[in-house]
Every structure is written in structure tokens, then in C-alpha cells.
Amino acid sequence: MKKTSTRLADGRELIYYDLRDDTVRDAADRRPLTPTVTTSEIRRDPLLGDAVAVASHRQGRTYLPPADECPLCPTAGERLSEIPDSSYDVVVFENRFPSLAGDSGRCEVVCFTPDHDASFADLTDERARLVLDAWTDRTAELSHLPSVEQVFCFENRGAEIGVTLGHPHGQIYAYPFTTPRTALMLRSLAAHKAATGGENLFDAVLERELAGERVVLEGEHWVAFVPYAAHWPYEVHLYPRRRVPDLLALDEAARTEFPQVYLELLRRFDRIFGEGESVTPYIAAWHQAPFGAATPADGVTRDDFALHLELFTIRRTTGKLKFLAGSESGMNVFINDVPPERAAERLREVASS
């Protein structure tokens, strides 16, 4: 992998990740951009104890432009985009409309491919591995920023999810705090460790799932399963068999196998609802241990946390979405319409090609 860092016309960082070591990236951003002005602010909810990012400048962000005006496609002639070069393998850049900025963190965009009409599932194993390497590199770099405590790599896919750009891409959020969901996991981890005399909760969950009926895919180094208490109708968790706290700690064997397992999983997701349905909308979210002094607590260390990816769709059946209504939105109590065992069975039976 070759990494080339440059700057866009407004001063934002852009990084090319290339498969070939001899690739030259010297194209300049020719757009007449003024420096971005952000109003991101983190506010704490005094009752719930969680954080809300207030970012009013995002109201003006680009919204579903036509393909010939896509800002994530490579620059072509006089059609200028966020990527100055006429081609790329994988590219990462600072978001022009970030939810988090300055002391409130950082937001980046990850473009998986220059092909506007493709998806992550269409990538080759080599290109998917390059995306994994980019995620890993950005996690390492962002974790060293003084304001950052947790790095979150994720992909929103599909208009139903609320994406504003149709080009295949993901995002990376670098939070200045440990997110509420991770804090819940850490509390459960600490409580289980104390109650069992030292057993790791993530290890126990994985062992139980491997012995059950909800496993979807197994590789030598990765396991994908529908969790016992899945929140979403079709939800899969992907774990490395060897527990590691973050992407940086994956060994070469796990990195090599990841594209095979993950691409197969995504292709199955696209076939859950039948050939006549549009592509399956989904969220793919990496969970990594937080960084910083606040992480080791209650007898739990970073090494107790288990890196894993959670993949889920908001579609519950053909032509119908799972809405977060009163119970989910008002009380955070999910009601799942599909038994996890049936979801796992369906994901096992669909062919990926």
C-alpha cells in the first residue's frame, strides 16, 4: 500500500491509498473553495448523561446530486470534485460538512472505489483489503489526536438509511469521548468479569454463538452470526476468532481472510429479499476499544474489549422498513419482527452469486 497525503483548496487533508507503489498523486485541487466554517458543538444531556453533537452548518451539505455532479467521483476535465486526480483506488478526506470538528473531534469520508455505480460488495478481495488497511491507518492516526478518545469507522448504504451521496463510501468519526453504546458494553464487560471471577464476556458470547444455530458464516479467522438478542430484523455480528481491541491489533492472517468473509456476507445481504427488490440498505459499524486515560476502569482494560463489526438493515421484509417508533425511539426498547434464528437461517440459505 502506498499512502500519499495532500491538501484540498480549502485546506482540508486528503489521502490517497494506492495498490501500486509507483503511483504518483500530484494533481492539485483547482476549485475556488473558501475555508470551511463549522459550528460543531458537543452538549451533554444532564438526565441521560450522553452527548449530542449540534452542527447546524450541515443543513447546507450536498444532497443526492445527479451522477454527473457527484463530488466523490474523480475529477474529469473541467468537472471538478473532492478528488483532484482523474482516478483513485481508495481515498480519504476531511468532511467539508463535519458533525464533529476542532476540539469536538473529526469526521472523514472514505471512498471505496471510483466507480459511481458500484457498491462495497462489488470490490475485489484486493480492493477490500486496501479499504481495511485505510481504516486501520486512519484509526492509528486519529487516535493520536489529543481531542480524540474513540474512532468509529462505518458505512451507511442506501437512500432509506439517509445517505446524501449515492457514490459508494463510508465515514470515520473521531469522538472526543467514549460513545454511550461502548460505555454500556464496558460496564457489562466489567460486571461479567467481576461476577465470574475473570471470564471475558465477549469470549463467552462468541463461544455460545459458535455452539448454537445462529452462525451464518465461518472462516479460519472470522465468524459471522446473528446475535441472540438482535435488535434489527436482519443483523449480523462479525468477530475475529482471536480477540483484539481494535483494527491495529489484527494479525496478517485475519487481514488476509477478512475480504473473503465480509464480501460474501454483503452479497448475501443483497439477496435476502429476492431479485426484484432494490439493493439492501444497511449500516456497517466497526466497534473498537476507546483510546485515552478513561478506558481502563472497574478492572477492565483495552485488551478486554473485542473488536467486531455489526451489520444490519432497516428493511424487515420485501417493500417494508423497520421504523424506530414509540418503544424504540421513546424508551430504547427494540421490538424485533424476525426471530434471530430465522434470520440466520435465511442468510445461510441465500446464495451470493
Q: Which residue has the cell 471538478?
A: 80
- CB-CB contact of 65 with 43 (8 Å): no
DSSP 88: -
Helix H segments across 45-200? 125-143, 180-195
Q: Which residue has the cell 483513485?
A: 88
The four Cα atoms 288, 42, 83, 72 give a dihedral, to 10 degrees, of 80
For residues 313 and 271, give the distance between their C-alpha atoms in angstroms, rounded to a whole number.
Answer: 12
3-state secondary structure of 189: helix
- CB-CB contact of 212 with 202 (8 Å): no
Cα 270 to chain center, whole Å? 18
- CB-CB contact of 286 with 262 (8 Å): no
Give kind and range of the element (H or E) at residue 107: strand 106-111
Residues contacting residue 129 through CB under 8 Å, at least 6 positions apart: 255, 256, 258, 259
End-to-end CA distance of the chain: give it in Å, rounded. Answer: 29
CA distances from 116 to 65, 72, 305 (A): 12, 8, 36
- CB-CB contact of 214 with 227 (8 Å): yes
Determine whether 169 is an active site residue.
Answer: yes
From the list 167, 169, 192, 221, the catalytic residue is: 169
3-state secondary structure of 63: coil
For residues 70 and 166, give the distance between their C-alpha atoms in angstroms, rounded to a whole number.
Answer: 8
107 phi and psi angles, rounded to 5 deg: -125, 135
Which residues are annotated as catalytic?
Answer: 169
